[in-house]
Amino acid sequence: MEKEHHPVVELARKTIEHYVRRHEVIQPPQELTPEMKQRAGVFVSLHKHGALRGCIGTIEPRSANVAQEIIQNAISAAVHDPRFPPVQANELDDLEISVDILSPPEPIESMAQLDPKRYGVIVQSGWRRGLLLPDLEGVDTAEYQVDIARRKAGIGPHEPVQLYRFEVKRYH
């Protein structure tokens, strides 16, 4: 029996399946859930057999609503994540999909205001910006979380950075 998923995850799955099979972008559903009507940054993460297979998102909203944000980021996570080859049709059944809807980032003064289980982090130095989602396996300290985000942005360990934190609602 197939597990029921939240409508935001179902939208991401339908988007990816339709795009991978037909190379067409679907339209948002006629009836949007309350989560889909808001404007927010969204990350879509794909895992295959427990390993990351793609993850792309937006820190701040770029689309009219979360539904459109999910559609764009689901396609990007499936076929445009530079760390992975594009998802193929024969992989679709093996994908586990999660959707994170981000709260607006808030500036913080120090790592003491972070909790990697509760907050994601954004590090910024000039135009370079790196983000790490919260509650990731193996990321147990704020220092490690910030270090990973720095490396993702190409920011050296001794360069000054502005820190931001945000929370997510994660849907599986």
Q: What is the pTM for the complete model shown?
A: 0.94
- The residue from 84, 102, 120 where one domain ends is 102
Please give the average per-residue pLDDT across 121-141, as a whole number.
Answer: 96
Work out the angle at residue 132's Cα, subtended by the Cα atoms of residues 50 and 43, and round it to the nearest 5 degrees: 70
Over residues 40-68, the mean pLDDT reads: 97
What local confidence, expressed as pLDDT, does residue 3 receive?
61
Q: What is the dihedral of CA 8, 27, 64, 38, to 10 degrees?
A: -30
What's the CA gap between 133 and 118, in Å, rounded? Answer: 9
In 3D, which of 168, 60, 166 has the Cα closest to residue 122?
166
Structural domain range at position 72? 7-102
Percent of the chain whose pLDDT exceeds 70: 98
Does 124 have pLDDT greater than 50? yes
131, 121 Cβ separation under 8 angstroms: yes
Confidence of residue 5 (pLDDT cuts 50, 70, 90): confident
pLDDT score of 1: 41
C-alpha span between 106 and 127 (Å, rounded): 17
Which of 57, 82, 102 lies at the terminal end of a domain, its last residue? 102
Whether 2 is in a domain gets the answer: no
Span 9-22, mean pLDDT? 98
What integer is the mean pLDDT of 61-89?
A: 97
Asked whether the beta carbons of 134 and 105 are under 8 A apart, the reply is: no
Residue finishing a domain among 62, 82, 102? 102
Shared domain check, 113 and 98: no
Average pLDDT in the 86-110 region? Answer: 97
Residue 132 confidence (pLDDT): 96
* pLDDT tier at 167, thresholds 50, 70, 90: very high
Co-location of 40 and 76 in the same domain:
yes
